[in-house]
Amino acid sequence: MTLVNPELFAAPTPSRQRLFLLDGVGAVLSALCLGAVLPRFERALGVPAAVLHPLAAIAGALATGSLLCYWANPRPWQPWLRAIAAANLLYGVLTACLLAFGPWCVTAWGWGYFGLELAVVALLAGGEVRAASRTPGPRDGTVRP
């Protein structure tokens, strides 16, 4: 008879942990680019720093949520991954709307950067939704394909 449930200390499922980590690190990178690097190239992008800084703050908040889930390893993890995917998609919609309907003139460099960022966010969110939709195992929360 064991006094401690070994499942409490089981290593997290690598695929879900990698998603939380990948999402968090990507959001940190976005926050750094939007908050520290891209404002220096405001004219080249055609997007004012007053827009880039709030987007950086949102990316920082998303990074915090993803990395907390990576370290905390919540059970059940699927609702957390779905929430992160939804937040990523909302961030993408907000960014696209700001660029498309803002009073500034976004340059080709700006469209290129944000187009790439939005494509990466959409692909990641899609992978997160697919991973969260898989059937969980009977007791341990692991995922069966």
pLDDT for residue 57 is more than 70: yes
Helix (H) or strand (E) holding 128: helix 108-133
pTM to 2 decimals?
0.81
* pLDDT tops 80 at residue 128: yes
Buried b or exposed e, range 92-123, using 16+ CB within 10 angstroms: beebeebbeeeeeebeeebeebbeebbeebee
Contact (CB, 8 A) for 78 and 132: yes
- Extents of the domains making up the chain: 14-135
Per-residue pLDDT of 77-92, as tens digits, reads: 999 999 999 999 999 9
pLDDT confidence of 10, banded at 50, 70, 90?
very low
At residue 134, the pLDDT reads 80
Confidence of residue 25 (pLDDT cuts 50, 70, 90): very high
What pLDDT is recorded for position 136?
60
Label residue 142 by pLDDT band (50, 70, 90).
Answer: low
